[in-house]
Amino acid sequence: MLSDKLQAALNEQIKNEFYSAYLYLAMSAYFESKSLPGFAKWMRKQAEEEMEHAMKIYDFIHDCGGTVQLQAIDQPPTEFGTPQQAFEQALEHEKFITGRINELYKLAQQENDYPTQVMLQWFIEEQVEEEKTASEIVEQLKLTANHGPAILMMDHRLGKRE
């Protein structure tokens, strides 16, 4: 059984995960408008993954007999600058999400809620991967120095994401 405090925090995280999906979908739309279909595909896949994260918490709350309370999601930006700037924003957002997951874990520890700690362990590991991937792409984009042919090569590579 989830405490009221932990249930509220998990519901907040559902909102954060849905916002992540919304943000990456907005980035996908932006890249489509800039004729970068590979970047757009990568971000769209990322948006889908974030939806799965939200639903993982949604299902967990229900499995624990709790109540899901969906919250309003803020509108994401529509402009993101260069591909490097967009991925830098994505990396900063992933760092924010990592901080939120860490706070949830700390709360679950304080509440002696072992099932929630176990569930959140998956998210902790996932955030290591999320930050690593975004950071690598940022570093690769820095190497391109926003040079057209190199960006097109990156667009092609990122478009291969399954």
Domain count across the chain: 1
Q: Is the pLDDT of residue 110 over 80?
A: yes
Q: What is the pLDDT of residue 108?
A: 98
Q: What is the mean pLDDT of residues 96-111?
A: 98
Cβ atoms of 144 and 150 within 8 Å: the answer is yes
Please report, for the domain that includes residue 113, its CATH number. Answer: 1.20.1260.10
User: Using alpha carbons only, what angle is made at residue 138 by residues 162 and 122, rounded to the nearest 5 degrees?
Assistant: 55
Give the separation between CA 158 and CA 37, rounded to whole angstroms. Answer: 9
Q: What is the pLDDT of residue 149?
A: 87
Print the domain residue range for 15.
4-158
Task: Please state the pTM of the whole predicted model.
Answer: 0.94
- What distances in angstroms separate CA 147 from CA 4, 49, 79, 90, 152, one per listed residue? 52, 29, 20, 21, 9
The mean pLDDT of the chain is 96
Q: What is the pLDDT of residue 112?
A: 97
Give the separation between CA 54 and CA 114, rounded to whole angstroms. Answer: 20
Q: Which tens digits make up the pLDDT trace of 27-59?
A: 999 999 999 999 999 999 999 999 999 999 999
Cβ atoms of 135 and 145 within 8 Å: the answer is no
Rounded percentage of the chain residues whose pLDDT exceeds 90: 89
